[in-house]
Chain A
Amino acid sequence: MDTTRLIIVAVGGQGNLLASRVIGEAALIADVPVRMSEIHGMAQRGGVVESAIVFGDASSTVISDGEADVLLGFEPSETLRALNKCNANTVVITSLALLSPFTVTTGSSVYPSLSVLQALIRQKTAKLIAFDAAALATEAGNVLSVNMVLLGALIQTGTVPLQVENVKEAIMNKTSKTFVESNLKAFELGFSVAKELG
């Protein structure tokens, strides 16, 4: 089976690791070989959290610069920062809801303009799907379901070897019972918006 390499970047606390876990479980359900690596530790301290997910016939769990087939960004400046993982054929999906780094709050740095940011990503990769995932998460009834919105968008693009049913089953099995309903709704909203934008 061909190898597909997916990078997910987020800010600590955005639920990136849970999204990766759901993807891993979905792959297990679909019998798709999968290996993932993630960097913990500072995850709850507002730093950058990156997961690498490799589907198919490969042994490595790490993705080198320029080798991601798909980049899923939970925060626009983090998506931009991860462009070194992309190449001209990479599909990029990003939320446009920004989380201002504290260096911006204190005035020691400037947040890049979102239109410039999108234009740059478009110019350097095969495709960009960008939307406000936080707004859709709120619409789904849980502001914390940004991860499920983005997961929905990812699956819609067909860039990873997982089916909608696999992922929904994994959401039902692996996310908190209290939030299954809003998580599934968030997934659907993300799926629809990617379809519109795609």
Chain B
Amino acid sequence: MHKLLTEHPGLKMLLLGNEAIARGAIEAGVAVATTYPGTPSSEISTNFFQISRESDLYFEYSTNEKVALEVAAATANSGVRSMCVMKHVGMNVAADVFMTLAYIGVKGGLVIVTADDPYMFSSQNEQDNRYYSKFAGIPMVEPSSVQEAKDMVAYAFNLSEKLQQPVIFRTTTRINHSNAAVVIGKIKEPETRGDISKDPFNHVPVPAVARKLHAKLLSKLGEAEKISEDSEHNFIIGNGAWGIICNGVSYNYVSDAVKDLNIENRVKILRIGFSYPMPRAMIKRFLQECEKVLVVEEGEPFMEETVKVLAQEEKLTLSIMGKSKKFFSRLYEFDPALVRQSIADYFDVACSPAKVPDLSDIPEIPQRPPNLCAGCPHRATFYAVKKASEGMDTICPTDIGCYTLGFLPPLAMGDFLICMGASAGTSCGFSKVTGKKVISFIGDSTFFHSGISGLINAVFNNHDFTMVILDNGTTAMTGLQPNPGVYMKKLNLDVYGKVSIQKVVRAVGVSHVTVIRPYRVKKSVDAIKEALHYKGVSVVISEEACTLYARSLKKARGKPFFVSDKCKGHKDCINEIACPAFFIKNKRVEIDPDLCTGCTVCAQICPEHAILPIRNI
């Protein structure tokens, strides 16, 4: 049995924040869960996927976040408890659904998990999604710990049903990817079937209906604020005259700092867990009892702005500090020492920071940037494109996935990146105005997510570029999730369909379509050359399984290779493809047989044919 289905309420388990959220949903009787995977949210869904195979939970990897939220909006409007999970930027994709779903509301509980990524450990921006809540007028809760991450899910479902509104469950990486002991609770039996009444004057927001629904949304928001005032998740501890208002992980740093600085009897902490609508009356009372107040929140001054407005409304002139050059930045994430120092500075108490040793005499340490895996088919594709486009003046828009790493030298394939699917649309623009050869890169999952619409645009508007689809048969970067192009029957999952990328590409009207196997170097280079010389939209589909995925399926690996005595030290293998299986020992190039997957690309490009399979010794 899946560990998150364990009965035994009261049992303590070591859980990852994301496991705790999934468990919280199971305890709340979630019946439907949808997602598009994205770090740091991915493990919530990985667990749902596994759980769905041994319980009544319906779970799906949707094609993108917009679709995921549409599916969940419908199931929740049918009265079925539903959860939709995404990373912060996924909310941008789902925003069209989200903004109007706020008007329509829900019947069964709908909890939308958005996992923000301050410091951008694995994201392209660090947008603060708390503003989505304010933007749409949708209530939001934010946990501070792993235990709370579990407990708050049921609260969010109840709140959603009480208000008949979706609820945002906002986390940050340090919640998603923290582990702690969690006391589990009772599992609620899910209601898996529902229905929707025909009620177009509440469900079909044509202008006349939408005007009425917007007014209804604002009245629900008023109701939500009343609940926020009395919520157990907004609380005050301590009773000094100095005030600190904080949320999420900042609450942990504040709690530790107040103890470390020995000012527990001088500080009052207001922890905001139900963070939109904010408990305005509660905050006003808090401000009235304080001499000065520090707002501690990562990201934007979301709470700070409201707190300052509330002080103005009460004509209070106390100092309220938050984002400023001297205290807290809008950039990156916080840490305990930073918060401790800022509290000490603001309230003028002594603080002796830990002494980091003098590191000025440390020699330069070689960087260890992430790299495409040994034998990664993307490397082979990039190499082939590079060879095929030699001498051409190119621009290479790229996309989101492992293959983004192809922008690093020596492959250096990736000149422009915005967001999921943007390689297709940006290629249209670059090809129109630069007159250069545009070659775009997109993975299979990203193509399904949002590359197709850009490709259709290219065909319709008669643009001129080559799209290379790197089809490795999985969503690799986020942990090998399936996508519509994956043949699920092979995984003994026979309830799935399969969408052929090639058929889609042909069907939308691309007339020059080539399929290559990137480990066949010469054939691939020739085929890509032909595609590059085609005037109009051409598509090259590079098909080869992700090496990690192949390994996880225990598919036989190729035999590892070695560098024989024929090597004359050209080092093309290292300088042109930079496979991490290579290393230099006593000035000789060698291959680590534990890393080599036997993809044979290096053997094909070696000018001396010196790289041979180990069996040929």
A interface residue numbers (CB < 8 A to B):
11-12, 20-21, 24-25, 27-28, 33-42, 44-48, 58-67, 77-78, 80-81, 83-84, 86-88, 100-107, 109-112, 116, 120, 124-125, 143
- Residue-wise, chain B 224-252 has the 8 Å CB interface mask toward A (1 for contact) of 00000000000000000000000001011
The answer to whether A60 and B371 have CB atoms under 8 Å apart is no
Docked pose: A142 CA to B363 CA in angstroms: 33
CB closest residue in chain A, given B585:
A100
Contact A64 to B336, CB < 8 A, known contacts A45-B371, A80-B362? yes
A40 contacts which chain B residues (CB < 8 A)?
Answer: 39-40, 122, 177
Asked if B200 lies at the interface with its beta carbon under 8 angstroms from chain A, I say no
A-B contact pairs, 12 of them (CB 8 A): A24-B179, A35-B179, A37-B178, A38-B178, A59-B251, A60-B253, A61-B178, A66-B357, A100-B584, A103-B367, A106-B578, A120-B362
A111 contacts which chain B residues (CB < 8 A)?
Answer: 366
Asked if B364 lies at the interface with its beta carbon under 8 angstroms from chain A, I say yes
Asked if B359 lies at the interface with its beta carbon under 8 angstroms from chain A, I say yes
Contact A41 to B583, CB < 8 A, known contacts A28-B181, A60-B256, A105-B574? no
CB closest residue in chain A, given B371:
A46
Asked if B174 lies at the interface with its beta carbon under 8 angstroms from chain A, I say yes
B interface residue numbers (CB < 8 A to A):
12-14, 39-40, 121-122, 144-146, 173-174, 177-181, 249, 251-253, 255-256, 333, 335-338, 353-359, 361-373, 402, 405, 410, 477, 548, 574-575, 578, 580, 582-584, 594
Docked pose: A11 CA to B373 CA in angstroms: 13
CB closest residue in chain B, given A100:
B583
The answer to whether B178 and A67 have CB atoms under 8 Å apart is no
Least CB distance from B237 to A in Å reads 12
Contact A65 to B337, CB < 8 A, known contacts A101-B366, A102-B580, A103-B366? yes
Contact A42 to B122, CB < 8 A, known contacts A80-B365, A103-B368? yes
Docked pose: A59 CA to B255 CA in angstroms: 7
The answer to whether A105 and B355 have CB atoms under 8 Å apart is no
The answer to whether A102 and B578 have CB atoms under 8 Å apart is yes
| The 7 nearest A-B residue pairs measured at CB | A66-B354, A64-B337, A41-B122, A59-B252, A47-B370, A124-B357, A109-B366
Docked pose: A36 CA to B368 CA in angstroms: 24
Least CB distance from B369 to A in Å reads 7
Docked pose: A41 CA to B43 CA in angstroms: 11
Least CB distance from A116 to B in Å reads 7
The answer to whether A61 and B174 have CB atoms under 8 Å apart is yes
For chain B, what secondary structure do more than half of its interface residues adopt (helix, strand, loop), or is it mixed?
Answer: loop
B402 contacts which chain A residues (CB < 8 A)?
Answer: 45
A116 contacts which chain B residues (CB < 8 A)?
Answer: 363
The answer to whether A65 and B356 have CB atoms under 8 Å apart is yes
CB closest residue in chain B, given A170:
B14
The answer to whether A36 and B354 have CB atoms under 8 Å apart is no
Docked pose: A111 CA to B584 CA in angstroms: 12
Least CB distance from A150 to B in Å reads 18
The answer to whether B253 and A45 have CB atoms under 8 Å apart is no
User: Of B14, B40, B594, which one neighbours A41 at CB under 8 angstroms?
Assistant: B40
Least CB distance from A34 to B in Å reads 7
B575 contacts which chain A residues (CB < 8 A)?
Answer: 106
User: Of A67, A77, A124, which one neighbours B354 at CB under 8 angstroms?
Assistant: A67
Contact A45 to B337, CB < 8 A, known contacts A37-B179, A61-B252, A87-B357? no
Docked pose: A59 CA to B600 CA in angstroms: 51
Contact A66 to B337, CB < 8 A, known contacts A41-B40, A46-B368? yes
A20 contacts which chain B residues (CB < 8 A)?
Answer: 179
Q: List 16 extra interface pairs beyond A11-B368, A58-B252, CB under 8 A.
A: A12-B370, A21-B179, A35-B145, A37-B177, A38-B177, A41-B39, A60-B256, A61-B252, A65-B335, A67-B337, A77-B366, A77-B368, A86-B357, A87-B356, A102-B578, A103-B369
CB closest residue in chain B, given A11:
B368
The answer to whether B178 and A64 have CB atoms under 8 Å apart is no
Least CB distance from A162 to B in Å reads 13
A80 contacts which chain B residues (CB < 8 A)?
Answer: 362, 365
User: Of B180, B336, B355, which one neighbours A34 at CB under 8 angstroms?
Assistant: B180
The answer to whether A60 and B370 have CB atoms under 8 Å apart is no
Least CB distance from B333 to A in Å reads 8
Docked pose: A84 CA to B121 CA in angstroms: 19
A25 contacts which chain B residues (CB < 8 A)?
Answer: 14
A27 contacts which chain B residues (CB < 8 A)?
Answer: 181
Docked pose: A33 CA to B252 CA in angstroms: 15
The answer to whether B368 and A78 have CB atoms under 8 Å apart is yes
A102 contacts which chain B residues (CB < 8 A)?
Answer: 368-369, 371, 578, 580
Docked pose: A67 CA to B362 CA in angstroms: 19
User: Of A60, A78, A107, A124, which one neighbours B252 at CB under 8 angstroms?
Assistant: A60
B584 contacts which chain A residues (CB < 8 A)?
Answer: 100, 105, 107
